[in-house]
């Protein structure tokens, strides 16, 4: 009793309360973040994709004026881009060679900044060496900022590097306005170093639109700079 009275007289606190105070002070401390990291993050958040700004500020108005779409909700919109690479033809027995699978997955990660999904065959097709239940393709779906950045690089950096390029096909639209194109090699992207690639492969690229038609989708892509093939002038 005398010891406890002395502690109270000296202004001391019980050990339990002092432990709680220390734990609160330790949890209130925030980890220090590098100033360069904060500046880069803020700059990235403030700078929207260039093609998205172009679409919102200019292309939507041109679409409404040309096609008479007064309701903004009826305007066509690019919803997502899907990249697909076939690997089934490289099957050796029941497995895809590790160098083939690794090269394809690495290419899609570098090009899109997103990890792809490996698809399995739903049925067997002997002509294409496809067996049910085995790995057959790699696919990645990109949306929002990554989608706009990829489209910008595809139009302005990748397509001009295609050998003997005369434009992409303008007939590859379906009834909903979705567009499909293909590349014969991954080296057209500047992110890919062909000296490190194990083999050359192509890819299918699908542009999925909403509230669109072939005419609307073509006009939107053309305004973004998609280099469609022009008919030969004789």
Output the pLDDT for position 187: 81
**159, 188 Cβ separation under 8 angstroms:** yes
- pLDDT tens profile 70-115: 888 888 999 999 999 887 666 666 677 777 788 888 888 888 888 9
Q: Please indicate, yes or no, if residue 147 is contained in any of the structural domains.
A: yes
> How far from 92 is each of 89, 97, 126, CA to CA, in Å?
9, 7, 13
**Which phi and psi angles does 202 have, rounded to 5°?**
-105, -165
CATH code assigned at 208: 3.30.1440.10
Q: In sequence order, what are the residues at sequence separation of 6 or more whose Cβ sits closer than 8 angstroms to the Cβ of residue 177?
A: 76, 209, 212, 213, 214, 216, 217
Which domain does 212 fall in, by range? 78-85+103-114+137-224
Question: Would you say residue 141 lies in a domain?
Answer: yes
Torsion angle in degrees (nearest 10) through CA of 96, 97, 103, 108 = 10
If one compares 44 and 147, the residue with the highest pLDDT of the two is: 147
d(CA 83, CA 180): 10
Number of domains composing the chain: 1
Query: Considering the domain boundaries, does residue 122 fall inside one?
Result: no
In a domain, 178, yes or no: yes
Residue 54 in domain: no
Give the mean model confidence (pLDDT) for residues 24-41: 47
Residue 170 CA, chain-centre distance (Å), reads 24
Q: Is residue 47 part of a domain?
A: no
- pTM more than 0.85: no
Predicted confidence (pLDDT) per residue in 140-172, tens digit: 999 989 999 999 999 988 888 888 888 888 888
- Phi, psi torsion values for 19, nearest 5 degrees: -65, -40
In sequence order, the 6+-apart residues with CB closer than 8 A to the CB of 118 are 101, 105, 135, 137, 138
């Amino acid at each position: 009793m005398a010891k406890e009275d002395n502690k109270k007289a000296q202004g001391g606190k019980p050990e339990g309360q002092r432990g709680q105070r220390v734990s609160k002070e330790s949890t209130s401390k925030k980890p220090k973040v590098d100033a360069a990291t904060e500046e880069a993050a803020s700059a990235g958040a403030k700078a929207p994709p260039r093609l998205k700004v172009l679409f919102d500020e200019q292309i939507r108005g041109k679409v409404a004026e040309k096609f008479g779409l007064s309701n903004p909700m009826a305007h066509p919109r690019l919803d997502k881009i899907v990249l697909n690479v076939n690997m089934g033809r490289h099957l050796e027995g029941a497995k895809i060679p590790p160098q083939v699978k690794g090269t394809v997955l690495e290419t899609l990660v570098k090009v899109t900044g997103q990890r792809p999904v490996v698809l399995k065959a739903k049925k067997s097709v002997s002509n294409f060496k496809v067996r049910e239940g085995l790995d057959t393709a790699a696919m990645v779906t990109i949306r929002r900022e990554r989608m706009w950045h990829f489209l910008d690089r595809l139009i302005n950096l990748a397509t001009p590097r295609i050998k003997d390029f005369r434009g992409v096909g303008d007939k590859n639209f379906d009834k909903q306005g979705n567009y499909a194109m293909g590349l014969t090699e991954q080296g057209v992207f500047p992110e890919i170093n062909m000296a490190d690639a194990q083999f050359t492969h192509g890819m299918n690229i699908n542009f999925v639109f909403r509230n669109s038609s072939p005419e609307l989708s073509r006009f939107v892509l053309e305004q973004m700079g998609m280099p469609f093939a022009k008919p030969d002038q004789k």
